[in-house]
Amino acid sequence: MKKILFVAALSLGSLTAFAQEGEEVTQEVATEVAVAQDDFTAIETKDVPEAVSTAVATNYPTATINKASVNKEEQYKLEIALEDGTAATFYADKDGNWIEL
């Protein structure tokens, strides 16, 4: 009878140790998942295609392009400042069509 109680206590202790290790592994995985990537490369504002500059001038006549970036699909990320001091980020394709990313 003593042997049965000893084996039961030993088994219970082993299961508790494995459960604690499982929690640690779960925590490590959760911290590695949140990684954001931005595949846009900064360019000079003068290098923005004419069609994109025209689209900005047409839709936002008082706006100024502060920063511009492009990705491999030739989509442009534009950081625009308006005359009233507000700023926004817009995306356009190489033909000056507004897109949502």
What are the φ and ψ backbone dihedral angles of 79, each rounded to 5 degrees? Answer: -100, 115
For residue range 29-72, what is the model confidence (pLDDT) as tens digits? 443 333 334 699 999 999 999 999 999 999 999 999 999 999 99
For residue range 69-97, what is the model confidence (pLDDT) as tens digits? 999 999 999 999 988 889 999 999 999 99
**16: part of which helix (H) or strand (E)?**
helix 2-33
**98: part of which helix (H) or strand (E)?**
strand 98-99
What residues pair up with 68 in beta bridges, in sequence order?
Answer: 43, 78
- For residue 9, is pLDDT > 70? no
Considering only the top CATH level, what class is 41-99?
Answer: alpha beta
What are the φ and ψ backbone dihedral angles of 27, each rounded to 5 degrees? Answer: -65, -40
What are the φ and ψ backbone dihedral angles of 80, each rounded to 5 degrees? Answer: -115, 135
pTM of the predicted structure, to 2 decimals = 0.61
Highest mean pLDDT (candidates 13-17, 23-27, 61-65)? 61-65
